[in-house]
Amino acid sequence: MLNAEVAKRRDEAISRGVGMMTQIYADRALNAEVWDIEGNRYIDFAAGIAVVNTGHCHPKVMAAVANQMTKFTHTCHQVMPYENYIRLAERLNEKVPGDFRKKTIFVTTGAEACENAIKIARIATGRNAVIAFGGGFHGRTFMGMSLTGKVEPYKKGFGAMMPDVFHVPFPMEPHGISTKDAMAGIEKLFKADLDPARVAAIIFEPVQGEGGFYPAPTDLVKAIRALCDQHGIVMIADEVQTGFARTGHLFAMEMHGVAADLTTMAKGLAGGLPLAAVTGRAELMDAANPGGLGGTYAGNPLGIAAANAVLDVIEEEDLCARANELGSRLKQRLEALRATTPEIIDIRGPGFMVAVEFGKPGTHEPDAGFTGRVRLEAQKRGLILLTCGVYGNVIRFLAPITIPDAHFAEAMDILEASVAAARQG
């Protein structure tokens, strides 16, 4: 079986609305390596978009899922509950930042988590409006799209968005947007369009994912917290991509010494199985009436078992420290590369959530073409990379945090060769 043959079948069978970054069809994977159906081997610096932080097929996660499969795969927790669902909620209530009593709900996707956080904020406050940030990504459902601060490809052609969602600028230092600009955007919104007494929530990513891996400055996070406290607004931290050791902390908000009222999570939570959660202040989480939250597959037993194992692995293998170590090494290699690569305009990101931004030499003008060439050159050499950013000019590095040192070093050599080749072509 060849990739090209399967790609042709895919074009005939699957909606073109489902985007495809590669035409590499996976056959098997282990830790940071993936082999395609033709037997080609790749080092995976995508990790399913920050999902398999603990690596593909981690033995402890696989064993937990296999054990659960011998018992039951589904009952619907709302019909017949199960203890490990409660145990995982207890663990998240303890680990999510915030020195207050917390409760948790489980759903299936990051978009669902964000949707439910908005529902909780609205019913708890009796308000409707939501403030989000330009460049942010919160999912592809209608509320998710509406919260997302990027038109293409997420909103274009889908008609009117959900009402009462407002966007303000997000700090992007390479492009001259500061925390002061972001907060001025909110102030302008309050003066021109929106009574703060109507705002249910402000939602943001501690590090923007699709938007370009721009970290939220601590002064922004503290300013949002103060504004929410002043006006009775619910602060929502979208930790879907930043969670579970990716940033060198279990949750990125730990970097700022500030706690959100609600935290959304998914991706790295269950090591590759679909599971998401909202954890937050108990009084907010209890605002909805029974039946108002949940879903048929919400908190599926296999995902719950995997997530409990993922938390064990993060603790036992000290993956937060490992993320900081790998991120430091990656930044050192990128800084060395910068000396011979004038296209590099910025290197950023906490822990192992690192990005490099490319622009026209001597300027800060984004260069998506060069970025795309780097990605394709790396793919030819056996390294899977992801691009992101409002301008498509950022490469984000999301390898499993469990990647062996030898594979990491190999990937760095491929990256350097790919940048050099992109400069020539």
pLDDT in tens, 318-349: 999 999 999 999 999 999 999 999 999 999 99
- Write the DSSP string, 210-264: TTT-PBPPHHHHHHHHHHHHHHTPEEEEE-TTTTTTTTSSSSGGGGTT---SEEE
| Topology at the third CATH level for domain 3-54+318-424 | Aspartate Aminotransferase, domain 1 (3.90.1150)
Torsional class of 159: left (φ above 0), alpha (ψ -120 to 50), beta (otherwise): left
- Structural domain boundaries in the chain: 3-54+318-424, 62-316
In three-state secondary structure terms, 203 is: strand
* Mean predicted confidence (pLDDT) in 291-312: 97
* Mean predicted confidence (pLDDT) in 159-173: 95
pLDDT of residue 135: 95
Full-model pTM = 0.96
Which CATH code is given to the segment(s) 62-316? 3.40.640.10
pLDDT of residue 363: 87
Q: What is the spatial distance between Cα 390 and Cα 291, in angstroms, rounded to a whole number?
A: 38
pLDDT of residue 65: 98
pLDDT band at 222 (very low <50, low <70, confident <90, very high): very high
* Mean predicted confidence (pLDDT) in 186-192: 97
Q: Are 249 and 269 in contact (CB under 8 A)?
A: no
Has residue 425 got a pLDDT over 80?
no
* Mean predicted confidence (pLDDT) in 106-122: 98
pLDDT of residue 162: 94
What single DSSP character describes residue 348?
A: E
* Mean predicted confidence (pLDDT) in 92-115: 98
Q: What is the spatial distance between Cα 131 and Cα 203, in angstroms, rounded to a whole number?
A: 6
Has residue 53 got a pLDDT over 80?
yes
